[in-house]
Amino acid sequence: MNTQRLHTLIRRGASLLLLAAASIALGACGVTGPDETPWQNASSFAWPVGLGKRSLEFRNEKLRDSGSVSAQILTFEMEAQATTEQTFGEQPMYRLRRQGSPIKQYFLPLKDTLVIFDDLGRGNTLALTTPIEKGHSWICQYDPNGDSTWRATIVERFAYRNVEGTIYKNVVEVEYKPLKPITSGASKLWVRFFAEGVGPVQTIKFYDDFASSATDSLPSTISLTKDLTSLISSTSN
């Protein structure tokens, strides 16, 4: 073997050793792929609990076909402890009580499921379930007879998303569709955005004013409601 060829083989061997070392170093630094940790726990996308009594502010906007827009600020008080007033699988749920109104909402953050009781079918809804991956779909609500009534699908995951001028990190977009014919004036589609550590930050509800089969092929969206939720005050027990 001549000297030139020997030097070439040595250089190639050194290059391969450097490449292997770099690969090991990069792997140790955790840059081989995106961090999946934030997407493993459904309760991370619920309103935070364990912070004592506090108020949540909802900005509710309605847009109608006529072009008119109405907006109002709704304030809900969150209880410090879960209540047996509403349960899921015999587990007490946390309560949001609207100020000056009998309207209440409930939720239960579990590691594999986020349960919310609100206007969606007026029952407990499996609002978010693991795996939190794009395309994951599940039956999210049932009627008293055990029949499926709504289906949820994860539409997208965002590392960052701008919602009403606020940037949130790690946001999940979920779409909810009824599986049975809707009644006149009922919502035909929900789209909800959940932000890690914050909870639901925006809910878009589409309504239909026609329920007959003759008009099912021509759905009419008569209003769109956005609920923007943010922590506005907090007090300890």
Pairing of strands 91-98, 113-117: unpaired
Q: What's the burial of 202, exposed, middle or buried (CB within 10 Å: 0-12/13-18/19+)?
A: buried
Instruction: Show pLDDT as tens, one digit a residue, over the chain (237 residues).
Output: 554 554 444 355 444 444 444 444 434 444 444 567 778 899 999 999 887 888 888 888 887 766 677 888 888 998 888 999 999 999 999 999 998 888 899 999 999 999 999 877 677 899 999 999 999 999 999 888 888 989 999 999 999 999 878 899 999 999 999 988 766 566 778 899 999 999 999 988 887 654 333 334 434 443 455 666 666 655 544
Work out the number of other CB atoms within 10 angstroms of the CB of residue 59.
15
Check residue 233 and give its pLDDT.
58
CB-facing half-sphere around the CA of 63: CA atoms within 13 A: 9
Check residue 232 and give its pLDDT.
64
The C-alpha atoms of residue 174 and residue 231 are separated, in whole angstroms, by 22
Check residue 51 and give its pLDDT.
79
Q: Is the separation of the CB atoms in 73 and 58 below 8 Å?
A: yes
pLDDT in tens, 96-115: 999 888 889 999 999 999 99
Q: What's the burial of 128, exposed, middle or buried (CB within 10 Å: 0-12/13-18/19+)?
A: buried
Q: What's the burial of 192, exposed, middle or buried (CB within 10 Å: 0-12/13-18/19+)?
A: buried
Q: Is the separation of the CB atoms in 48 and 197 below 8 Å?
A: yes
Which residue blocks in the chain are alpha helix, DSSP H? 3-28
Beta-bridged to residue 192, according to DSSP, are 174, 203
Q: Is the separation of the CB atoms in 84 and 91 below 8 Å?
A: no
Structure tokens at 236: 């300890």
Question: How do the domains of the chain map onto residue ranges?
Answer: 1-33, 37-234
Check residue 21 and give its pLDDT.
44
Check residue 222 and give its pLDDT.
39
Identify residue 14 by its one-letter amino acid code: A
Check residue 225 and give its pLDDT.
59
Check residue 236 and give its pLDDT.
46
Q: Is 28 helix (H, G, I), strand (E, B) or coil?
A: helix
In 3D, which of 76, 78, 45, 37 has the Cα closest to residue 161?
45
Identify residue 10 by its one-letter amino acid code: I
Tell me 189's DSSP state: E
The C-alpha atoms of residue 128 and residue 41 are separated, in whole angstroms, by 10
What is the total residue count of the chain? 237
